[in-house]
Amino acid sequence: DYAAMRQALSRRYRRVKTGEVPLPDVLIIDGGKGQLTEAIEILSELGVHHLFVLGVSKGPSRKAGFELLHRADTGEELSLPSTAPALHLIQHIRDEAHRFAITKHRQARGKARSQSPLEGIPGVGAKRRQSLLRHFGGLRELARASVSDIAKVSGMSHQTAELVYSALHAD
């Protein structure tokens, strides 16, 4: 996903440019020529040069152990023997990056799923949220309520009731 790669590289290498983190010796990109070209373009836009960038893609058989390495500086395509320790290290780095990305994606998806649509509404904190849910018996019933019904809940102003109603009917 080019957009995700752009975001990750931009975030990381802006910090390199400000001196927050050092420039690495090598940047390994998970992907072939397309991803490598995109990464080089992003780095160039950020003014990051003189960095050894290596792309790792599945070989023609698309099996583990037959990965192809793509050098950004020469355009050269390399194939290491499946028993080469350097290839094993690169595979391990790639697999760890995959594990990290999948874990972060699952956490973000879980957080979005567990977050109430009432969170983030100005004037509706934890206590008002509980009060609303208790009064209506749940989110589904609250969504069916009118602005005037919501305003009848203890501590709710008409203005806040309108915000709640709007948030629940935004779609």
The string of pLDDT tens digits covering residues 20-29 is 999 999 999 9
DSSP state of 66: -
Residue that wins the pLDDT comparison between 59 and 168: 168
How far is residue 136 CA from its own chain's centroid?
35
Here the tokens at position 48 are 């990051």
Residue that wins the pLDDT comparison between 16 and 114: 16
How far lies 5's CA from each of 67, 97, 100, in Å?
Answer: 20, 12, 14
pTM summary value:
0.61
Between CA 141 and CA 44 the distance in angstroms is 53
Domains and CATH numbers, the chain: 2-97 (3.30.420.340), 126-168 (1.10.150.20)
pLDDT digits (tens, 9 = 90+) for 92-110: 998 898 898 888 888 877 7
Here the tokens at position 91 are 């595979």
Between CA 13 and CA 144 the distance in angstroms is 48
The pLDDT, as a whole number, for residue 114 is 65
The pLDDT, as a whole number, for residue 112 is 63
Any residues with CB less than 8 A from the CB of 131 and at least 6 apart, and which? 153, 154, 155, 156
Percent of the chain with pLDDT strictly greater than 90: 44
How would residue 119 be classed by pLDDT, with cut points 50, 70 and 90? confident
String of DSSP letters for 46-109: TT--S-EEEEEE--TT--TT--EEEETTT--EEE--TT-HHHHHHHHHHHHHHHHHHHHHHHHH
CB count within 10 Å of CB 98 equals 11
The mean per-residue pLDDT over the stretch 145-165 comes to 91
The pLDDT, as a whole number, for residue 113 is 64
